[in-house]
Amino acid sequence: MKIHQYILGCLCAAVSLVSTSACATEQRLEENAVRAFHQRLEAGQQDLIYANASDFLRGQLSEAQFRQFLAQTRNLGRFQETERAHYTRAKVPGHPDLVVAFYNSRYEKASCLESFTWHVEPNGLKLATYSCAPNMKVTCPGGASCETSPVPAPGIAGLP
């Protein structure tokens, strides 16, 4: 009996390790997708962001509308840094799974709460939605629930 428990324990540990590894890999893919998004936005390559987005996003916005939408973020100045505050994966029956991530990002003229939703597709993560809430940030203590709060604009209250 002890041998069966040992084998079962090893099997459970192996499944847990693979699951954890898969999750970590997906999170790295998501971080790389956000990095590529920021690099392309900074380089003025909104067309490339749009071309690589999900069918869902392209069905909601024309490329011209998407460019206009992203212009609001570009107006915040040069991208400086970002930190992921929350990450989750959600199953959607009959549709690709979604990866949702919130980032507290800093641009030259303002901080921004960025929200990314990615479709998990066979050939990678595809941008489904994006938003940027200027002068806002999110905190997710323990990852259970997230709260947004205002951030003073640069130059106010002694901030650079």
Mean pLDDT by 10 residues, the chain (160 residues): 35 34 76 96 96 96 96 95 93 92 95 96 94 92 78 57
DSSP for 58-93 reads HHHS-HHHHHHHHHHHHTT-SEEEEEEEEEEEE--T
When computed from its CA atoms, the radius of gyration of the chain, rounded to whole angstroms, is 19
Angle at 135 between CA 129 and CA 140, to 5 degrees: 65
Condensed to tens digits (0 to 9), the pLDDT of residues 124-149 reads 999 999 999 999 999 887 766 788 88
Provide the pLDDT for residue 147. Answer: 85
Provide the pLDDT for residue 159. Answer: 44
Nearest C-alpha neighbor of 118 from the set 59, 32, 30: 30
pTM: 0.78
Provide the pLDDT for residue 149. Answer: 86
HSE of 39 in the Cβ direction (CA atoms, 13 Å)?
Answer: 6
Provide the pLDDT for residue 145. Answer: 78
Provide the pLDDT for residue 19. Answer: 37
